[in-house]
């Protein structure tokens, strides 16, 4: 059975793309077959997996509007995950899709043609709650919310959770909210933990284990177009491997491990 996971938060810069690429690469290292989907017109996931969006002639955009078969658009990557790439064309998909009946189901329908080839599909949602994110949430079995542990991290979380509830009511009754992933986490200060406990108190969503620490290697990796998981060891990569194991074991019947905040 294929597991389809959406990584969503309408806030930019919270590490959705980094989480998609890193969890995908970590699972691929365990010989899990992984498809990652770039749903952001900026194409950051596509770029970080070694493909220049400006050089591509076909992308997820053509798939969503029905102009290309998904199988003809998929790309291999050096991280051993398969990529459904995005280009800036996707910025126009929003408007084109809005005119169509069943617009929330375009990605789900396309994925159905290839998902039997993959154990896991991970969808990198764009920083908005528009029709592209609705497509991601409609196609997914589960959703994970990266939360950057800074002041005001909670802003927008309520709105995102309402969108998830609406998707559950309308297009995808089986969608499961797995929880938040704490990103850019700084264990040396109490601030990150205060922000997290504030969010979990307000919205009662679990925080998955482990938190992902802020690591300089991540910024370097996305700048060079190379995945952070490749090459040398660092604490960010180690944390993402643990998170990937946690998710993988939960898909194989274990209870998901959560990060317990110490009560101070």
Which residues contact Mg ion (rule: CB under 5 A)? 16-17, 40, 44
User: Rounded CA gap, 156 and 22, in Å?
Assistant: 24
**What is the three-class DSSP state of 130?**
coil
Structure tokens, 145? 């919310």
| Residue 104-133 contact track with ligand ADP, rule CB under 6 A, x = bound | -----------------------x------
Q: Judged by CB under 6 A, which of 53, 85, 136, 236 binds ligand ADP?
A: 236
CA angle 230, 43, 148 (to 5 degrees): 70
Q: How far is the CB of 69 from Mg ion (least distance, A)?
A: 26
183, interface contact from Mg ion, ligand ADP, none, CB < 5-8 Å by kind: ligand ADP
Largest CA distance in the chain: 56
Task: Give yes or no for residue 241 binding ligand ADP (CB under 6 A).
Answer: no
Angstrom distances, CA of residue 10 to CA of 2, 73, 158, 163, 164: 25, 26, 11, 11, 12
15 near ligand ADP (CB under 6 A): yes
Site size toward ligand ADP (CB under 6 A) is 18
Stretch that binds ligand ADP, among 15-23, 29-37, 74-82, 136-144 (CB under 6 A): 15-23
Six-digit token string for 126: 């764009």
222 binds ligand ADP (CB under 6 A): yes
Partner interacting with residue 248 (select from Mg ion, ligand ADP, none; CB below 5-8 Å by kind): none
Residue 53: burial class (beta carbons within 10 Å; 0-12, 13-18, 19+): buried
* Residue 214 contact, options ligand ADP, Mg ion, none, Cβ 5-8 Å cut-off depending on partner type: ligand ADP
- Please say which residue, 4 or 222, places its beta carbon nearer to ligand ADP: 222
Q: Which does 86 bind (CB under 5 to 8 A by kind): ligand ADP, Mg ion, none?
A: none
Geometric angle at alpha carbon 60, from 57 and 64, rounded to 5°: 120
Residue 44 CB contacts under 8 Å (≥ 6 apart), including other chains: 17, 38, 124, 222
Positions touching ligand ADP (CB under 6 A) are: 12-18, 44, 127, 183-184, 212, 214-215, 218-219, 222, 236
């Amino acid at each position: 059975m294929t597991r389809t996971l959406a990584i969503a938060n309408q806030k930019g810069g919270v590490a959705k793309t980094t989480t998609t690429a890193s969890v995908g690469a970590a699972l691929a290292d365990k010989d899990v077959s992984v498809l990652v989907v770039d749903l952001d017109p900026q194409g950051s996931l596509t770029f970080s997996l070694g493909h220049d969006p400006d050089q591509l002639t076909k992308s997820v955009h053509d798939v969503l509007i029905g102009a290309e078969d998904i199988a003809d658009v998929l790309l291999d990557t050096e991280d051993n995950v398969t990529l459904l790439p995005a280009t800036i064309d996707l910025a126009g998909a929003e408007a084109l899709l809005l005119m169509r009946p069943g617009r929330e189901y375009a990605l789900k329908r396309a994925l159905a043609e290839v998902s039997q080839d993959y154990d896991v599909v991970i969808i990198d949602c764009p920083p908005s709650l528009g029709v592209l994110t609705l497509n991601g949430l409609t196609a997914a079995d589960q959703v994970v919310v990266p939360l950057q542990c800074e002041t005001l991290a909670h802003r927008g979380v309520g709105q995102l959770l309402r969108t998830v509830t609406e998707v559950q009511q309308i297009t995808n009754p089986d969608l499961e909210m797995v929880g938040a992933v704490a990103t850019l986490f700084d264990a040396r200060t109490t601030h990150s933990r205060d922000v997290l406990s504030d969010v979990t108190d307000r919205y009662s969503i679990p925080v998955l284990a482990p938190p992902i620490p802020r690591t300089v290697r991540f910024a370097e990796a996305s700048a060079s177009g190379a995945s952070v998981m490749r090459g040398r060891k660092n604490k960010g990569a180690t944390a993402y491997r643990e998170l990937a194991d946690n998710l993988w074991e939960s898909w194989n019947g274990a209870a998901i491990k959560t990060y317990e905040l110490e009560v101070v």
